[in-house]
Amino acid sequence: MPNLSRRTIIKAFGAGLAIPAIGHAENFRGGKDTVFPFGVASGDPAEDGFVVWTRLGTLPLIYGIAPDLPQKVPVYWEISEDESMHSIVQEGQTYAAAISGYSVHVEIQGLKPGRPYWYRFRAQGNQSGIGRSRTFPISGQAISSLRVAVASCAHWEMGWYSAYRHLANEYPNIVLFLGDYIYEHNAPPARQGLTVRSYGASEATDLEGYRWRYGLQKTDPDLQKAHAVAPWLPIWDDHEIEDDYSGVWPSSPEESAEAFRRRRLAAWQAWYENMPVRKNVRIADGGMRIYRRIKFGDLAIIDLMDGRQYRSRQPCPVPPKYGDGRIISESCSDFHDARRTFLGVEQERWLYDGFRDHSAVWTILAQDLKVAPLRFPSSGGYNYWTDTWDGFPLARDRLTQALANYGPPNPIIFSGDYHSFFASNIRARPYDEKAPVVASEILGTSITSLGPPYEAIQKVLPENPDIRFFDSRKRGYVIADFTRQAMTAKLMSIADARDAQSEVSLTRTFTVESGRKGFINSS
């Protein structure tokens, strides 16, 4: 149970949590005086529907749930063809229960393909705000454009969520969220002077602790706006459970295998409760299978990947720590062990078998960790950071060879985790200038989390010629516009994450032409 007090609860929520209007299209009426303080969301769109989500609660939040609500609460939902909710096409009733954190997931079916819809909820005499979602076009239907927003890494304490507000104002068709929606830990002592607000709780290790953090973050009006503007396709990274864990190996040496198993199950449960995802991500014994494939007409196939759950331990660990990322020499014997995996055997097979059948104009790989190699010169050769694909080089070779051999059309990789902007070309063989480029990677910076030292990485870029751009000093998001001719990615930066009213600006633009691998220009 998180270490909470009434003082920290009140301080965490502060005053004035009424939710402002969401753009010109969404009339958001949630707030501290309703049972909808966490907003609404939609996700996992299909040709005939999508998931609509909300979570009931009252403020101030106690231990991540609403203790003054009944154990089971009727919730009514409506789907409309217009933003004023006058053309209701579907409606129904479900229940929010204490056992599931009062979360609501309704899987809508039977709608028209390729168009927007609006939705809302009612419960306990209260009405939620209105969210906008959309159905995807029919698979194979000729589609001219798709706008994708990419976001990741939103530490509550390290900044305000103005990046989410500006992302919403871009009106994307979908939002790819690539992990670290919450942080299980508080800002370290060295960064306490940089925080703008507090989690008001100790590190999350159980269901109540994780629920608390999701609940607190979801009271943020800018995050609510980003959820209400478009359907999300979320995956996780490490901080939804524990920093730098790897598969079944925790990063903390004091944590037993059984304790970490229980922690993973609790964190997965909280993630499911708070994400607009389908029920089929839940599998037997409390497990989750979040890798999945979604088609957007004939324009794009989106492969959502899980880079944490199935992978081998960190390479060449120093016992008793087996799940902690660090920089080590290329002489590490694990780097040459072909049995080591990043995605797990089943997910690899699913991904590469899918490459054989991809027929859309664009192949989008949405995953959590940097694929492009980044080497650091040392006296004995090169060093690598072990927590990304750099720690699993032979697994990365299998990925790049699958891209080269099976030839899915126009692969674009979106990544997160590194709290930096990167734009990189991915070759079939790293650092071999004669090897073909098989994909381009856009790594989006964080919403608020601080990045690695800029000068240290900038200094080694000459040793990494396929990295076309890097900047760890900026917070923000990515907007990628896909047409039949090209993909254009805009790296968007906010001026200051510590300013709640921070403005946004364009940092750099990168373009990939259809039928031509690699970035053709930047501006």
Q: Answer whether residue 25 shows pLDDT above 50.
A: no
Per-residue model confidence (pLDDT) at position 521: 75
Per-residue model confidence (pLDDT) at position 219: 95
Could you tell me if residue 296 is inside a domain?
yes
Indicate the angle between helix axes 207-217 and 257-274, nearest 10 degrees.
Answer: 30
Q: Answer whether residue 18 shows pLDDT above 50.
A: no
pLDDT of 225-245, one tens digit each? 999 999 999 999 999 999 999
Residue with the two structure tokens 């599931």: 100
Per-residue model confidence (pLDDT) at position 391: 96
Structure tokens given for 367: 């995953």
Rounded to 10 degrees, what is the CA torsion of 154, 156, 159, 160? Answer: 90
pLDDT of 192-209, one tens digit each? 889 999 998 999 999 999
Judge residue 192's burial from the number of C-beta atoms within 10 Å of its C-beta, 0-12 exposed, 13-18 middle, 19 or more buried. exposed
Q: Answer whether residue 144 shows pLDDT above 70.
A: yes
Q: State the Cα–Cα distance between residues 135 and 57, nearest whole angstrom.
A: 29
Q: How many residues does the chain have?
A: 523
Q: What is the mean pLDDT of residues 415-428?
A: 98
pLDDT of 310-335, one tens digit each? 999 999 988 776 677 889 889 999 99
Per-residue model confidence (pLDDT) at position 209: 95
Per-residue model confidence (pLDDT) at position 313: 93
* 3-state SS, residue 43: strand
Residue with the two structure tokens 């990615």: 489
Helices (H), 239-390: 257-274, 345-357
| Residue, of 441 and 25, whose pLDDT is higher | 441
Domain at 517, CATH number: 3.60.21.70
Q: Answer whether residue 8 shows pLDDT above 50.
A: no
Per-residue model confidence (pLDDT) at position 32: 52
pLDDT of 341-377, one tens digit each? 999 999 999 999 999 989 999 999 999 999 999 999 9
pLDDT of 243-268, one tens digit each? 999 999 998 888 999 999 999 999 99
Sign of CA dihedral 488, 374, 241, 192: negative
pLDDT above 90: percentage of residues in the chain: 84
Q: Answer whether residue 4 shows pLDDT above 80.
A: no
Q: In the beta sheet, which residues pair with residue 119?
A: 79, 131
Per-residue model confidence (pLDDT) at position 73: 97
Could you tell me if residue 315 is inside a domain?
yes
Q: Answer whether residue 15 shows pLDDT above 60.
A: no
Could you tell me the CA-to-CA distances from 117 to 51, 79, 88, 122 in Å, in that order? 12, 7, 10, 17
State which H helix or E strand residue 119 sits in.
strand 116-123
Which of the four pLDDT bands, split at 50, 70 and 90, describes residue 101? very high
Strand 411-415 with 126-127, pairing: unpaired
Q: What is the mean pLDDT of residues 26-50?
A: 80
Average pLDDT, rounded, for the chain? 92
Q: What is the mean pLDDT of residues 36-45?
A: 98
Per-residue model confidence (pLDDT) at position 28: 38
First to last CA, the chain: 49
| Ordered strands of the 145-151 beta sheet | 103-107, 51-55, 40-43, 232-235, 174-178, 145-151, 475-483, 486-494, 504-513, 521-522
Q: In the beta sheet, which residues pair with residue 323?
A: none
Judge residue 433's burial from the number of C-beta atoms within 10 Å of its C-beta, 0-12 exposed, 13-18 middle, 19 or more buried. exposed
- Number of folded domains in the chain? 1
Could you tell me the CA-to-CA distances from 463 to 374, 431, 459 in Å, in that order? 8, 9, 9
Could you tell me if residue 229 is inside a domain?
yes
* Lowest mean pLDDT across 13-27, 121-135, 431-445: 13-27
Per-residue model confidence (pLDDT) at position 318: 80
Could you tell me the CA-to-CA distances from 28 to 43, 156, 416 in Å, in that order? 18, 22, 29
Q: State the Cα–Cα distance between residues 44 and 279, nearest whole angstrom.
A: 11
Could you tell me if residue 230 is inside a domain?
yes
Q: Which range of residues forms the domain containing residue 315?
A: 6-522
Which of the four pLDDT bands, split at 50, 70 and 90, describes residue 104? very high
Residue type, 7: R
Could you tell me if residue 1 is inside a domain?
no
Q: Answer whether residue 306 shows pLDDT above 60.
A: yes
